[in-house]
Amino acid sequence: MSGSRPGRVVIVGASLAGLLGAESLRRMGFTGSLTIVGDEPHEPYDRPPLSKAALTDWVPPEHTGLPRLADLGDVDWRLGVAATALDRRAREVVLADGTRLPYDRVLVATGVPTGPGPMPNRRRWRGCGASGPGRIPG
Amino acid sequence: MKIVVDLAVCQGYAQCAFLAPDAFRIYGEEALLYDPQPDDELRERVVQAAAACPVQAISVERGQR
């Protein structure tokens, strides 16, 4: 891909995948408008340290913002408002506050919600991890 | 400065922990802990640590912010 590539891209999801998608677009020459939607009020942050360096009080949790590894240029950040619908006919992303964001291309990078895992032997796991990061006994 | 380590790539070689112990620590035998936002005065050491990583798991944001 080379040359100037305009257009409107809306990225739904403002975490690792959304940020890397935005960086890749810019790195590959996308010059159009870039909108990143995230339901959390935070700019993209790094999750693994939350359960390690931040949990052990080594670093404050607000110090976990992800680095910018490419110049993102102008980005319209829509943080703290969830995307609730994708209107493919109108080519618009609909936000929880009713805003409609028109797009030429949309990247859905929302990840998945966390939930209880399939742990048949749940009693065995109880209490693990309560004393800081370490290896859960197999 | 901001950094990120791809923990799926990290193999626990611990070169970073030797070169920039204020930003990278090995917990136990192989778990890496890192400060995602180390002080700017550590930049040179952190850049060295990123360069020394055998699997190139460390990314460092360029320039000052």
Q: What is the pLDDT of residue A52?
A: 84
pLDDT tens digits along A32-45: 999 999 999 999 99
Residue with tokens 């995307």: A83
Q: Which of B10, B16, B37, B39 to mutate to test the interface with A (most CBs of A within 10 A)?
A: B37
Say whether A66 and B31 touch across the interface (CB within 8 A): no
Partner residue opposite B36 with nearest CB, options A56, A59, A69: A59
Angle at A71 between CA A103 and CA A91, to 5 degrees: 5
How far apart are the C-alpha atoms of B57 and B9, rounded to whole Å?
6
How confident is the model at residue A1, as a pLDDT? 47
Which pLDDT value is given to residue A130? 44
State the Cα–Cα distance between residues A84 and A96, nearest whole angstrom: 6
Q: Which helix (H) or strand (E) holds B44?
A: helix B43-52
Interface probe, candidates A46, A50, A57, A71, chain B, greatest B C-beta count within 10 A: A46
The pLDDT-based confidence of A3 (bands split at 50, 70, 90) is low
B32 CA: distance to closest CA in chain A (Å): 9
Residue A123 binned pLDDT confidence (cut-offs 50, 70, 90): low
Tens of pLDDT along A77-104?
A: 999 999 999 999 999 999 999 999 999 9
Chain A contact present for B28, CB below 8 A: yes
pLDDT higher at A65 or A114: A65
Give residue-wise pLDDT tens across range B6-25.
999 999 999 999 999 999 99
The band of A116, judged by pLDDT with boundaries at 50, 70 and 90, is low
